[in-house]
């Protein structure tokens, strides 16, 4: 390994100052405007935040001297990328309300942080090794950068613990100066935290041999974990044929769990079979077993791809599903690359460096393209959902409207198109949901009171619910019942009293015909609370049909701890509220 050039003396002073400057920038942005709700017309503030993050991160992690032209060229390239992404994001935020902007900006800052973590080692490697893509250097730098961040978190926590102890001790004797300085002064909080992080990273970079020792220690931990994770993956794959693929398709988080298992195994493989290792790890039999288990990794990634595609085929693309698809592509690329490397070399001391470099190029490329027109998850998702709705208007529900409202300007344009659709205008509940989504309410319908909900009609001649029921519905469950509010005197919902648990006290069932579901409230311990749902109402059930059935013997309960409903001979299963 090429000996590292020590940090220059001036740089050791500059880097903590850069951390303090970064903290000061964040503080000033918070003073001038809410950091994560910057209006689109002031989008240059977004570039100040993102650009300062890129500049300070590059200097703190990559600089060894301020007289490195390649360092400044790399920083200039990062700033150009950040400027392009910020310009695109400001364009995407045009016309959005504060809450939509806040969520989008938080997501961008998190993505930029990950992008910087994945790209800076390439610049560091070029500055140290003198050439691009030296994998042993890349591997070491990723290790050391990750360890530096972990130690920075630890040092920051310990530093604030010391400050808290100091403030508490002096407050004990009536001196609140330190408590005010440390915890009520926002400028001190940001600047002090930035300084501690930068100082810790500087100390880590100044002691590479110590970092190498910590790396070797954690490599031993990974060496112990790898067989356990490999056993879990093999056992899962062997058990899967016995239970069938349907078990995965029923789980919403199936793709996430499969990708986590696959990526964890591959990451541990990379840590254990690190480049330049003097001797192969493990005993020969264990090595063969672990390398053989590697064959299951592509299968695991393919199962994750199938789980993602199943959800897309059922419900269309969303930003989250697109992110899951990109992660699955990385899992497939990584696992297949490792298997190909193993097949070509046919030996236990396999070299996976070529696959490692490809993965370390593809992953940051995906993260960079997400905030560009090339790979725009919001536009792709909106087009997918609109195609589904165009094919079948009954697919439009509150979840789809929420997704569209969170899809930046493309989602708002789609909601305006739906608002003018004649088929949607005939549905008061959907029309209200779209209107509230476009109006930018954080909790649509939150201004409705008990009197507004009293206008929901009853399905049978029964006494009206007690005032406490209406008060609880309006205060605690307005987000579930908001589309039941009458519009022009017409409600898309209906209330029915029925004893569902055999305690002699009737529960109130709120039938929502637009959403094709029902919400159940029960009086427990003297207070009303939501206890569960009936999902998927019969297709033929509407308000008039329910009124006729409720007044006849065709509506009964079926015995269970919480009973199901039978409506005109069709069983409606009850789904209990989860704690």
* 315 within 8 A of 392, measured Cβ to Cβ: no
Whether 322 shows a pLDDT value over 50: the answer reads yes
Whether 3 shows a pLDDT value over 70: the answer reads no
Give residue-wise pLDDT tens across range 193-216. Answer: 999 999 999 999 988 889 999 999
Q: Measure the CA–CA gap between 389 and 417, rounded to whole angstroms.
A: 11
Whether 36 shows a pLDDT value over 90: the answer reads no
Joined together, the tokens standing for residue 38 give 């910057």
119 forms beta bridges with none
In three-state form (DSSP H/G/I as H, E/B as E, the rest C), the secondary structure along 120-185 is HHHHHHHHHHCCCCCHHHHHHHHHHHHHHHHHHHHHHHHHHHHHHHHHHHHHHCCCCHHHHHHHHC
For the chain, the C-alpha Rg in angstroms (whole number) is 29
What pLDDT shows up at residue 32?
67
Give residue-wise pLDDT tens across range 152-207. Answer: 999 999 999 999 999 999 999 988 898 898 998 889 999 999 999 999 999 999 88
Q: What is the DSSP string of 277-333?
A: -SS-SS-HHHHHHHHHHTTHHHHHHHHHHHHHHHHHHHH---HHHHHHHHHHHHHHH
Residue 264: band (very low, low, confident or very high) from pLDDT cuts 50, 70, 90: very high
Other Cβ atoms closer than 10 A to 153: 12
Instruction: Give the mean model confidence (pLDDT) for residues 387-393.
Output: 84
CA 219 to chain centre: 29
Whether 348 shows a pLDDT value over 50: the answer reads no
The residue among 84, 88, 80, 120 whose CA lies nearest residue 104 is 88
Residue 252: band (very low, low, confident or very high) from pLDDT cuts 50, 70, 90: low
What pLDDT shows up at residue 446?
46
Joined together, the tokens standing for residue 515 give 């959403």
Whether 553 shows a pLDDT value over 50: the answer reads yes
Residue 381: band (very low, low, confident or very high) from pLDDT cuts 50, 70, 90: very high
What pLDDT shows up at residue 236?
92
Range name among 119-133, 306-320, 447-461 with the lowest pLDDT average: 447-461
Instruction: Give the mean model confidence (pLDDT) for residues 521-549.
Output: 84
- DSSP H helical ranges for 420-497: 422-425, 428-439, 450-453, 467-476, 478-481
Whether 500 shows a pLDDT value over 50: the answer reads yes
Residue 324: band (very low, low, confident or very high) from pLDDT cuts 50, 70, 90: very high
Instruction: Give the mean model confidence (pLDDT) for residues 495-524.
Output: 86
What pLDDT shows up at residue 96?
66
Instruction: Give the mean model confidence (pLDDT) for residues 405-411.
Output: 84
pTM to 2 decimal places:
0.76
Quote the percentage of the chain above a pLDDT of 70: 91
Instruction: Give the mean model confidence (pLDDT) for residues 540-553.
Output: 80
What pLDDT shows up at residue 442?
40
Quote the percentage of the chain above a pLDDT of 90: 38
Instruction: Give the mean model confidence (pLDDT) for residues 111-131.
Output: 90
Residue 9: band (very low, low, confident or very high) from pLDDT cuts 50, 70, 90: confident
Instruction: Give the mean model confidence (pLDDT) for residues 235-244.
Output: 86
Q: Which helix (H) or strand (E) holds 32?
A: helix 9-32
Q: Measure the CA–CA gap between 369 and 363, rounded to whole angstroms.
A: 10
The residue among 321, 280, 322, 330 whose CA lies nearest residue 301 is 330
Higher pLDDT, 516 or 160: 160
Q: Measure the CA–CA gap between 75 and 70, rounded to whole angstroms.
A: 9
What's the chain's average pLDDT? 85
Whether 37 shows a pLDDT value over 60: the answer reads no
Is the C-alpha dihedral spanning 230, 233, 237, 240 positive or negative?
positive
Q: Which residue has the tokens 């560009």?
A: 372
Give residue-wise pLDDT tens across range 353-374. Answer: 889 899 999 999 999 999 999 9
Instruction: Give the mean model confidence (pLDDT) for residues 290-295.
Output: 90
Whether 579 shows a pLDDT value over 70: the answer reads no
Higher pLDDT, 14 or 427: 14
The helix/strand/coil state of 427 is: coil
Task: Specify the DSSP class assigned to residue 497.
Answer: E
Whether 234 shows a pLDDT value over 90: the answer reads yes
Instruction: Give the mean model confidence (pLDDT) for residues 383-401.
Output: 83
Instruction: Give the mean model confidence (pLDDT) for residues 463-474.
Output: 87
Whether 469 shows a pLDDT value over 80: the answer reads yes
* 445 within 8 A of 436, measured Cβ to Cβ: yes
Whether 80 shows a pLDDT value over 80: the answer reads yes
Kind of pairing between the strands at 570-572 and 564-567 = antiparallel
Joined together, the tokens standing for residue 543 give 């308000």
Instruction: Give the mean model confidence (pLDDT) for residues 110-121.
Output: 94
**555-558 sheet: strands from edge to edge:** 555-558, 564-567, 570-572
């Amino acid at each position: 390994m090429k000996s590292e050039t020590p940090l220059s003396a001036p740089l050791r002073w500059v880097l903590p100052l850069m951390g303090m400057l970064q903290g000061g920038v964040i503080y000033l942005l918070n003073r001038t405007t809410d950091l994560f709700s910057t209006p689109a017309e002031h989008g240059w503030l977004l570039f100040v935040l993102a650009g300062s993050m890129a500049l300070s991160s590059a200097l703190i992690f990559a600089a060894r001297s301020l007289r490195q032209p390649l360092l400044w060229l790399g920083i200039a390239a990062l700033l150009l990328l950040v400027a392009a992404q910020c310009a695109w994001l400001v364009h995407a935020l045009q016309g959005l309300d504060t809450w939509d902007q806040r969520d989008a900006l938080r997501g961008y800052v998190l993505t930029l942080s990950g992008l910087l973590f994945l790209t800076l080692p390439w610049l560091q490697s070029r500055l140290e090794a003198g050439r691009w893509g030296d994998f042993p250097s890349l591997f070491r730098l990723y290790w050391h950068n990750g360890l530096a961040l972990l130690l920075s978190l630890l040092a920051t926590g310990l530093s604030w613990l010391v400050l808290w102890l100091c403030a508490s001790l002096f407050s004990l004797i009536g001196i609140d100066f330190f408590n005010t300085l440390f915890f009520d002064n926002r400028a001190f909080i940001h600047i002090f935290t930035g300084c501690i992080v930068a100082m810790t990273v500087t100390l880590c970079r100044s002691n590479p041999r110590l970092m190498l020792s910590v790396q070797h220690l954690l490599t031993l931990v990974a060496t112990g974990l790898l067989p356990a994770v490999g056993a879990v993956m093999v056992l899962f794959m062997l058990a899967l044929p016995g239970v069938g693929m349907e078990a995965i398709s029923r789980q919403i988080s199936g793709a996430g769990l499969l990708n986590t298992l696959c990526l964890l195994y591959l990451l541990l493989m990379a840590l254990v079979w690190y480049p330049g290792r003097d001797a192969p790890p493990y005993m020969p039999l264990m090595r063969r077993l672990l390398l053989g288990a590697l064959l299951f990794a592509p299968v695991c990634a393919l199962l994750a791809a199938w789980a993602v595609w199943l959800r897309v085929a059922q419900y269309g693309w969303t930003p989250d599903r697109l992110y899951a698809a990109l992660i699955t592509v990385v899992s497939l690329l990584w696992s297949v690359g490792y298997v190909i490397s193993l097949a070509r070399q046919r030996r236990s001391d396999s070299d996976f460096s070529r696959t490692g470099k490809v993965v370390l190029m593809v992953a940051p490329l995906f993260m960079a393209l997400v905030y560009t027109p090339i790979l725009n998850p919001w536009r792709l998702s909106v087009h997918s959902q609109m195609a589904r709705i165009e094919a079948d208007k009954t697919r439009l529900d509150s979840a789809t409207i929420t997704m569209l409202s969170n899809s930046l300007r493309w989602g708002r344009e789609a909601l305006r198109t739906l608002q003018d659709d004649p088929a949607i205008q005939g549905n008061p509940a959907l029309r209200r949901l779209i209107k509230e989504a476009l109006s930018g309410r954080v909790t649509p319908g939150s201004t409705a009171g008990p009197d507004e909900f009293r206008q929901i009609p009853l399905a049978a001649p029964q006494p009206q619910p007690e005032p406490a029921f209406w008060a609880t519905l309006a205060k605690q469950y307005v987000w579930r019942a908001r589309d039941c509010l009458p519009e022009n005197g017409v409600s898309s919902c209906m209330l029915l009293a029925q004893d569902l648990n055999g305690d002699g006290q009737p529960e109130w069932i709120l039938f929502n015909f637009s959403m094709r579901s029902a919400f159940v409230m029960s009086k427990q311990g003297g207070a009303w609370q939501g206890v569960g749902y009936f999902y998927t109402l019969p297709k033929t059930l509407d308000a008039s049909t329910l009124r006729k059935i409720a007044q006849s013997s065709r509506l009964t309960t079926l015995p269970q701890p919480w009973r199901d409903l039978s409506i005109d001979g069709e069983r409606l299963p009850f789904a209990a509220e989860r704690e």
